[in-house]
Chain A
């Protein structure tokens, strides 16, 4: 029962398991719902999908599986009265003149209906919405059916367009390799426990020791709770070529931020120079001196750079090489100063590793970092953390 449905879901990349399928069957057996496709859609989504980012995939799979199960003639169920005002509103006077030449709106709508029917046949009677690419008669005027928004007229459309075909969760689908949880699990290895804060935990050994020293007179001893004592300085490259990797970086950033208490982060562009900043909106007015950072944070901080290291070699090697301002000292010097203060340091590079050899600047940075550059993948992150500890 529903085995094909289950495999369709898996084919669409949903990670549903057998337990979840059994749950669904059990729910059907208990008659939570009865003979109602829409309720079945909701129930199966409830049991089988556990993440709202997967709703879109589920909708597609559901539509695919049930295509033909419930055939509905879309063209017949579009009432003309809610097409006309919408279309008229969108047409300019010029368009309206052209429209008249073609025999008026009625004629045009007629064509649209026919086209809809035709299209439905071509797509084997499915309940898919009208395609987007220029097949519509509206194309001539620069409006495709999507622009006319045929499907969005409230409850009148509900019968025609099935809920799952609306695919309302489209925005949320992220097929990311690095998901947040796996980053956090990787970061979890970056831990060094130390006891700090108020003394709240019972120190059993201390208590036994102290009590026996007092010949059995109870002497309770407490100790501080264990906390992660890792301190991090993170430098993010921002802007320019990093735009392609912004999502990956944001995920890393979010994960880092929630996992570590002692965390300072700064932004730079391409290469670190005499100033960095904390807020991209105020980057010119509120720059922090790199020197001050070196003097403020002790050498027990660990240093992580996140950047693609893709730039002109002169941006690293020469004074005045920066693309944004005149730097008196080459970027190399600033990197080396930071590395001298923070011996535990890594560079995470979102560029795929196989491309690294094609960029001279990546080689330069790698040399300055003494080979401690890792790709921004799960394996790379794990390896980087090992170097940091």
Chain B
């Protein structure tokens, strides 16, 4: 069962190979890449194409590895003991399975997405080494061993905010999603906006790539920003000629707010357009 581009998601050959290798060899796949290149979407699409459940574990700065395994709710047990509930005699009633547990015990081999692992504490990946390797862990409160009946497909994404430890990396496959080239991007846009006029699209892509190549931008616009921008252009019914007309609005493209997310970047683009205008005279 090979993973290929779908009706609404375009995968490069490299990425498809990476996913298929990870699925076949039952290894976690670590995906890095610029924000907005579809890292999280990959897991969703993969789950859909395999027709299986997607279990998402979004990592925050306060997330601990233990949260993914299980949590023991001591407070409700104490409360129940006070109220004389019968539930209190069985500790299992107070163990809340985490995302990893859910993934290990799922009926059909699920896709487990560990999203933005770099957001967590620096020790977090190390705490998960054994669990991801053996796909099993031990519940201290009940003495139960939870192990995966079928190893879930694990997709891990990272935005490179923190470097990951070597021992962790060694257990994963690694793929870096490169920014798509113009042709791939056109294919991606086609999938999202089939009715867009070819002329508008090619002008928009030109403006977009020009913008990405500007040195010194704090945040380069990425695929998801391009898609948002096109959506706005279509909604406002802006003709392609307006895009090429650099004179308007101090040289900024229409709806620039969708592409530039930072006032320094806006100022930079404005300044460059101003310089270009002066030179042109």
Contact = CB atoms under 8 A, between A and B. Distances in A.
A135 interface: no
B86 interface: no
B20 interface: yes
Interface string A112-141: 000000000000000000000000000000
A71 interface: no
A92 interface: no
Interface residues of A, number: 34
A20 B170 contact: yes
B25 A32 contact: yes
Contacts of A204: 74
Contacts of B173: 23, 46-47
B145 interface: no
B114 to A, nearest CB: 16
Nearest to A16: B170
B101 interface: no
Contacts of B176: 52, 55
B165 A46 contact: no
In the complex, which range does the number of interface residues on chain B fall in?
20 to 34
Contacts of A49: 174
A218 B79 contact: yes
A181 B162 contact: yes
Interface string B9-50: 000011001101100110100101000000000000000000
A285 to B, nearest CB: 15
Contacts of B90: none
Contacts of A43: 17, 21
Contacts of B164: 181
A357 interface: no
A180 B165 CA distance: 11
Interface string B48-88: 00000000000000000000000000110011011000000
Interface string A178-210: 011100110010000000000000101001000
B24 A218 contact: no
Interface in B161-184: 161-166, 169-176, 178
Contacts of A218: 78-79, 81-82
B91 interface: no
Contacts of B21: 27, 32, 43, 46-47
A296 interface: no
B18 A23 contact: no
A305 to B, nearest CB: 25
A353 interface: no
Q: Is chain A's binding surface mostly helix, strand, loop or mixed?
A: helix
Given A30-B24, A42-B14, A52-B32, A202 B166 contact: no
A387 interface: no
Contact of B25 (A27, A50, A51, A258): A27
A159 B13 CA distance: 16
Given A23-B27, A180-B163, A218-B79, A46 B17 contact: yes
A23 B171 CA distance: 9
Interface string A27-62: 100101100000100110011011110010000000
A216 to B, nearest CB: 9
Contacts of B17: 32-33, 39, 42-43, 46
B141 to A, nearest CB: 15
Given A180-B163, A207-B78, A258-B161, A50 B174 contact: yes
A179 B166 CA distance: 13
A220 interface: yes
A163 to B, nearest CB: 9
B255 interface: no
B24 A50 contact: no
Interface in B114-165: 122, 161-165
Contacts of B178: 168
Among A17, A50, A185, A218, residue most surrounded by chain B Cβ atoms (within 10 Å): A50
A336 interface: no
A153 interface: no
B33 to A, nearest CB: 8
Contacts of B14: 42
Contact of B172 (A50, A52, A180, A207): A50
Interface string A320-345: 00000000000000000000000000
A181 B163 contact: yes
A26 interface: yes
Contact of B169 (A50, A202, A220): A50
B78 A46 contact: no
A217 B74 CA distance: 16
Contact of B162 (A26, A46, A51, A180): A180
A33 B175 CA distance: 16
A15 interface: yes
A51 B169 contact: yes
Contact of A181 (B20, B122, B172, B174): B122
B247 to A, nearest CB: 27
A354 interface: no
Contact of A202 (B75, B122, B162): B75
Interface in A198-253: 202, 204, 207, 217-218, 220
B3 to A, nearest CB: 12
- Among all A-B residue pairs, the 10 with the closest Cβ atoms: A181-B163, A50-B169, A52-B176, A218-B82, A50-B174, A32-B21, A46-B173, A46-B18, A42-B14, A180-B163
Given A17-B170, A32-B17, 19 more contacts: A19-B171, A27-B24, A32-B21, A32-B24, A42-B17, A43-B17, A46-B21, A47-B173, A50-B30, A52-B32, A168-B178, A180-B162, A181-B163, A184-B162, A204-B74, A217-B82, A218-B78, A220-B75, A220-B78
28 contacts: A15-B166, A19-B170, A23-B173, A27-B21, A27-B25, A32-B20, A32-B21, A33-B17, A42-B13, A43-B17, A43-B21, A46-B17, A46-B18, A46-B173, A50-B174, A51-B174, A55-B176, A168-B178, A181-B122, A181-B164, A184-B162, A184-B163, A185-B122, A207-B78, A218-B79, A218-B82, A220-B75, A258-B161
